Structure 1
């Protein structure tokens, strides 16, 4: 089994400031930051991943639609699934913990900008690459991700 990549979109690949409307791609969906996409592709070249989308945007589109969006933006990987929406969870941090626990994940990486993830326990936090909303998955964060995978 490949390493699991738990991937958020806003603040990772979509870096539009909250006070601005998203720029829209020709396919009608939000544009992704090209530098962030390039860095994600470098990460996907470094190691094979099964991508699981954790973004709240996962509730608005089907898996097939998101895979088409990724293909339209030349992202090299396919999304394998969505982190489930658990009735018992109140936020992203709890969803990710529940997902890791339910699927007994040991080989994974989390790419997200949600600051609540800073309070993950040390074992889980060691697999987190925390990005900034308007910067996203830049080259510094790519380096950090590769270091965490070594």
Structure 2
């Protein structure tokens, strides 16, 4: 059994408004919100977990490229993989439900701003921390994520 964090990027670690072009970092990839990265690192600091990327941005880069991007942005947890079936035709909700129903996962957390997740199956929905595009993974969302881990995760 394993612990998993399913991570979106836009609205979680990237908080650029949709009407603005992303600001690029030194490596040519979008700037991440430093405070959101700091909060994410606080969350994962003493947490044994796998990180799975759900962002549609996963369709434009390889796993190794994302690992380097995360290192460049000082994210301490390495990405284990991408949610399978990355397809613009499939909703994020369906991708997440399929992933969770086919993987041997003990505990999980979903960090995402996608409103389609309001329709998640109830057994999954309580593990979702809904962020917002312009705010991202702020201290309030960090606290919510920590509460889910403390109350719902099993040893």
Given the two structures, how large is their TM-score scaled by the length of structure 2?
Answer: 0.92
> What is the number of equivalent residue pairs in this alignment?
149
The alignment yields a C-alpha RMSD, in angstroms, of: 1.3
Match in the other structure for 1:63: 63
Given the two structures, how large is their TM-score scaled by the length of structure 1?
Answer: 0.95
In 1: Cα distance, 2:144 partner to 2:46 partner = 13
Deviations 1:24-68 (CA, angstroms, capped at 9, x unpaired): 000000000000000000001141221000000001111110000
Task: Output aligned runs, 1:48-87, within 5 Å.
Answer: 48-85=48-85
| Stretches of structure 1 lacking an aligned partner (at least 5 in a row) | none
In 2: Cα distance, 1:50 partner to 1:141 partner = 19
Deviations 1:114-139 (CA, angstroms, capped at 9, x unpaired): 01101112210111001001100000
Runs of 4+ with deviation above 4 angstroms: none
In 1: Cα distance, 2:61 partner to 2:98 partner = 22
Match in the other structure for 1:41: 41
Contact 2:11 2:131 in 1 (8 A): yes
| Stretches of structure 2 lacking an aligned partner (at least 5 in a row) | 151-155
For the residue of structure 2 that corresponds to 1:52, the secondary structure is strand
